[in-house]
Amino acid sequence: MSAVTEQVRGNPALHDCRDAFTRTLEAMAAVNSDIVAVCNDSVGSSKLGGFKEKWPERLINVGIAEQNMVGVAAGLANGGKLPFVCAASCFLTGRALEQIKADIAYSNTNVKLCGISSGMAYGELGPTHHSIEDFAWIRALPNVPVIAPADSIETAAAAEWAVSHVGPIFLRLSRVGVPDLFSSDHKFELGRADLMREGADVTIIANGVLTHRAMFAADLLSQSGIAARVLNMSTVRPIDAEAIEKAARETGAIVTCEEHTIFGGLGSAVAEVVVDVHPVPMKMLGVPGIFAPTGSANFLLDEFGMSPGGIAESATRLIDKKA
Amino acid sequence: MYPEELAILANRIRRRDLQAVFEAGAGHIGGEMSVADILTALYFHTMSVDPENPLDPNRDRLVLSKGHTACILYVTLAEKGFIAKRDVATFLKPYSALNGHPNRVKVPGVETNTGPLGHGLPVGVGMAKAAKLDAAAWRTFVITGDGEMQEGSNWEAIMAAAQFKLDNLTLIIDHNRLQQGARLAETINMSPLSKRLEAFGWAVEEIDGHDMEQLCSALSPETVTLDRPKCIVAHTNKGSGISFMSDRVEWHHKVPDAEQYRQAARELGEASN
């Protein structure tokens, strides 16, 4: 059993990745005076209180005005600043999508879009506050890498990488507690999947809050004698086509899990590669194209077949379809 | 450059724009004629920009938010030396850098890609804010159409600019009273623009947007009010300089035929003499 799996087992401490994000942002802002935070009255929900206290003039709060927020960020970048736009992902990506397209992606500005409380993190607040379309919307745009870290350590590593990367990115963060999966010296590499667990019978590909669930599922499968490979695909665009092709060839079946609609998200991105290079049976788990009923994120993920048991069951059924 | 020289230059820019639209068989000639004097005043009187160093951090910034009038921006940039004059002839041709809306990645001197309306002013607010953070002296200018002021995003930016006390930001509204399909008055009337902007905390000046002396004065740093963003409501005519286009809604993006082209060129030529 891998060290990673060991950490996931038992009763691991759960962390809100926003804490790692703002800790890293503040550490970087302390040494890079060009870094500014841009938000839409979201100082609290984006955990920018510490940033505001340290650098009040570098915290640019445009009020409840997402279109302006993204445009302002593009202008700040034009003026030599390094803006981190921190806002609830549902409003950032939904309300300001055209600004993201024209001012950020097409204009290729050095703006870091940080979608906070993405997926179904707002749970019971309902589908208006769920951000389960953002992979599809943003990965449809050229120039903007789409990244959904799996734990606090990867969140910090990705935020640190974002500063060194010149150009726009979309960093999709949750607030749902997740255990640490990576060792503390983990380095983020754009477009590279992390092999979390080796296996030859089936591959489970996940990211964000689903990666640790996929690890649990692989544990359950191993109890039935099934060796599941687990890939953490935090970069949805550019996708790691090489790791996907290898998984298809070596394991012959792929399950994808995402806190996102199954229309156009991680599963679709994986399938685009699979059909092109090596078609194998796939099962895409995610929100099945509906507005979710009332419930917490974890409740809804279970409901949509993404409890560890649910993922394991999908994997088992999929293996039966292998040629 | 003196106002008389600027007026002559503006008409030369109009003529080149007219030719480019005629040859390309497409463009937005009405709004291009109405914004010609504003662009000329900015590039040849007011703004500090260097075609040899288009990304100089201390340059003044211009955002043409009414990006559909890209052609006349290209002509102006060519006249200023940012791009080669011969490149204007590639307007709308396959793989040309000069497509129907300006692209900062492909065209030196363009600051941000515009096209969808209501994008330029928020970006301008960000630029002006960046200069304030650095206590830098460079200024930001944004040109919008008047119909474009119907976009809600502009009013988000207007509120923020006042809150942030961006006296280094100047918005010029090309107030030609016509939008694509009809008069503003018959669509969503935006007048009086001055009172609206004033109510939002801006310093406002109304001018004749075809009068170079008034333009130069309104754009000069001496006329800025401390701690307030400035809006110049520039009263213009769509199709200005060409009699049969002037103040006619159908010339938003109509293309002149050969006879109309000759007449328009003649009128602009006579005006420049």
Q: Does A62 touch chain B (CB under 8 A)?
A: yes
Segment B136-168, tens digit of pLDDT: 999 999 999 999 999 999 999 999 999 999 999
Domain of residue A129, CATH code: 3.40.50.970
pLDDT at position B273 is: 59
Segment A72-128, tens digit of pLDDT: 999 999 999 999 999 999 999 999 999 999 999 999 999 999 999 999 999 999 999
Number of A–B residue contacts, CB under 8 Å: 107
CB contact under 8 A, B122 and A81: no
Structural domains in chain B (count): 1
pLDDT at position A4 is: 47
Residue A260 is part of which domain span? 191-320
Which of B61, B68, B117, B129 to mutate: most A Cβ within 10 Å? B129
Q: Which residues of A touch B134 (CB under 8 A)?
A: 79-80
Structural domains in chain A (count): 2
Q: Does A143 touch chain B (CB under 8 A)?
A: no
Alpha carbons A277 and A205: distance in angstroms, whole number = 17
Assess whether A50 and A163 both reside in one domain: yes
Instruction: Grade residue B271 by pLDDT with cuts at 50, 70 and 90.
Output: confident
Alpha carbons A188 and A158: distance in angstroms, whole number = 5
Residue B145 is part of which domain span? 3-272
Burial class from Cβ neighbours inside 10 Å (0-12, 13-18, 19+) for residue A13 reads exposed
Which of A35, A57, A78 to mutate: most B Cβ within 10 Å? A78
Residue A9, domain member (yes or no): no
- Write the CA distances from B138 to A144, A190, A236, A248, B104, integer angstroms: 29, 36, 39, 56, 19
Answer whether residue B201 shows pLDDT above 80.
yes
pLDDT at position A9 is: 60
Alpha carbons A52 and B110: distance in angstroms, whole number = 33
Amino acid at A127: P
Q: What mean pLDDT do residues B29-57 have?
A: 98
Segment A162-176, tens digit of pLDDT: 999 999 999 999 999
- Write the CA distances from B195 to A140, B71, B179, B190, integer angstroms: 42, 32, 20, 10
CB contact under 8 A, B133 and A36: yes
User: What ipTM was predicted for this assembly?
Assistant: 0.96
- Write the CA distances from B90 to A17, B74, B85, B108, B253, integer angstroms: 50, 11, 10, 15, 19
pLDDT at position A2 is: 44
Assess whether A130 and A225 both reside in one domain: no
Residue A272, domain member (yes or no): yes
B60-95: b or e for each residue (b if 16 or more CB lie within 10 Å)? Answer: bbbbbbbbbbbbbbbbbbbbbebbeeebbebbbeee
Assess whether A23 and A88 both reside in one domain: yes
Alpha carbons A180 and A184: distance in angstroms, whole number = 9
Average pLDDT across chain B, whole number? 97
Q: Does A71 touch chain B (CB under 8 A)?
A: yes
Of A70, A76, A99, the CB nearest to B130: A76
DSSP state string for B33-76: HHHHHHHHHIIIII----TTSTT-TT--EEEESSGGGHHHHHHH
- Contact residues of B toward A, CB < 8 A: 57, 61, 103-105, 111-116, 118-119, 121-131, 133-134, 140, 152-153, 156-157, 159-160, 163
**Segments of chain A with pLDDT less than 50:** 1-4
Of B122, B133, B152, the CB nearest to A71: B122
Residue A185, domain member (yes or no): no
pLDDT at position A10 is: 66
Of A67, A76, A109, the CB nearest to B129: A76
Residues 6+ apart with CB under 8 A from A176: A16, A119, A121, A209, A297, A298
DSSP state of A15: B
- Write the CA distances from A218 to A6, A227, A286, B197, integer angstroms: 12, 7, 18, 61
